[in-house]
Amino acid sequence: MKTETRHLTQRHRGTEEERRYRYSFRLCASVPLCECFSGLAMLICLAVVNGTAWAEESPVEVTAQSWPLGRGNALAEGVAKTTLPDKPEVLWKVTVEKGAFDGTPVIAEGVVYLGDMDGKVYAWNLADGKELWNFMSEIGFIAAPAIRGGLLYIGDIDGNFYALDAKTGMQKWKFAAEAEIDNGANFWRENVLFGSQDGNLYCLNAESGKLVWKFTTQDQIRCMPTVVGDRSFVAGCDSTLHIVDLVEGKEVAGVPIEGPTGVTPAVLGDHVFFGTESGVVFAVDWKQAKIAWKAQPQGSSQPYRSSPAVQEGFVVVGSRNRKVEAFDPATGKELWSFATEQRIDSSPVIVGSRVFVGAADGRMYGLDLSNGKQLWEYQATGGFTGSPAVADGRLVIATDRGVVYCFGAK
C-alpha cells in the first residue's frame, strides 16, 4: 500500500519545476494563482454539537506559545507575539527524503504540524524536531493546517478536507469538496471554514464535519477566508473581494478588484489588504465595501502571491518582482522596499521590530520593519513558497526540497 501511494503522489508531483507551478501557481481561470493563505476572526458561542459542549471563546489568536492558523490569527495579520534572537540559529532541521513542502506550519502546545506534497501530515516536537506521528492520505497537501479544540484541520489537492486528532493523528472525519484545496481553514462559532478551487466557500460543523452552508463564487477560491465578527472576506480568482455574511452564508457585497488573486486578505481596523495577479496592492474599506486606495509600485507588473503582514503603520508584502515592500496602511504610500535575489511568494511575518520572509532561492531574510534594511540572512536547501510560523521563541518554515527548519536561540 505504501508503494502504491508513493507512486500515485509522485505521479501528481512530477519534476520539481513542474510541481512548483502545478500546485502553487496554477491558473486562476486564465491567470496563475497567488499563494493564498490565510487569517480569520471567529466568535465561538456556547453550543452543543453531537454531544460535545463548545464553550464561548474569543476569536482565534496568536499567543506567545502558539501559531494556530496559516497566517497566525483570525484576521490574517501575520504578526507574532513572541520574540526571536538578533541572529536566529538553526536549532534543528528535519529532512523528508524525496519530500516537498508547499504549505505553512502551525504550532500549538509545543507541537509543529504540516502536510507535504506526498500526502503525509506530520507532527513534530517543537523542542527538538522529533516526529510524534504522521497521517497518510492518497494525495498531497499544499494547504496550511489549522488547529482548534484538539483537532487539526487540513485539505488536500483532491478536495478532501480532514479533521485529525491533534494528539494521535487519527482521522475523526473527512468531507469531500469538488476540487483542490489550496489554503488553510479558519473558524467561526462552532464551525470551520475553507475555500476550494470549485469556487465554493464551505462552512462545516467543526465537530461532525456536516455541511452548514456553502457560498458559491464564479471562479476558484485559493485563499484562507478571513473573519471579522460575522463577516468573512474572500479574495477570489473571479477578480472580486467577496464580503460574506457567516450567519446566512450569503454575500453582503462584492468589490471589483481588477484582477484575480489567491492571496489571503489581511485585516487592520476597517480595512482589508491584499495584492493581485495584476501587480496591484489594494486596501478595501470593508464596512463601506469600497476601495480605499490601491498601489502599484513603479516599474512593477509582476503578481503578488504573498499575503500581507499588517500592524499599525505598516502593510508588508513580498512580490514576484523580487522585492519586499512596505506601505502606509492609511494612504498606500510606499514606505520602503528591499530587493531580493529571487521572487517572494512566501508571506512575511512581523516579529517585534523585524520582518521575516523566505524567497524562492531558499534565502530567509530578517529585515528592520522601520526601514527595510537587512539584519539577518540564512541560506536554506531548496526554496520557500510556504511561510514562517513563529511561536515560543522559534521560527519554523519548510522548503520545496522537503526540509523543515526551526530557528531560535541556542
pLDDT digits (tens, 9 = 90+) for 234-279: 999 999 999 999 999 999 999 999 999 999 999 999 999 999 999 9
Q: What is the pLDDT of the chain when averaged over all its residues?
A: 88
Between CA 88 and CA 197 the distance in angstroms is 37
Would you state the pLDDT for residue 301? Answer: 78
Specify the pairing of strand 160-165 against strand 171-176. antiparallel
Digit-coded pLDDT (tens) for 376-407:
999 999 999 999 999 999 999 999 999 999 99
- Edge-to-edge order in the sheet of strand 106-108: 106-108, 111-115, 120-125, 131-136
End-to-end CA distance of the chain: 41
Percent of the chain with pLDDT over 90: 83
pTM of the model: 0.88
Digit-coded pLDDT (tens) for 335-378:
999 999 999 999 999 999 999 999 999 999 999 999 999 999 99
Would you state the pLDDT for residue 59? Answer: 76
How large is the angle between the packed helices 16-24 and 2-13, nearest 10 degrees?
80
Would you state the pLDDT for residue 298? Answer: 75
pLDDT band at 58 (very low <50, low <70, confident <90, very high): low
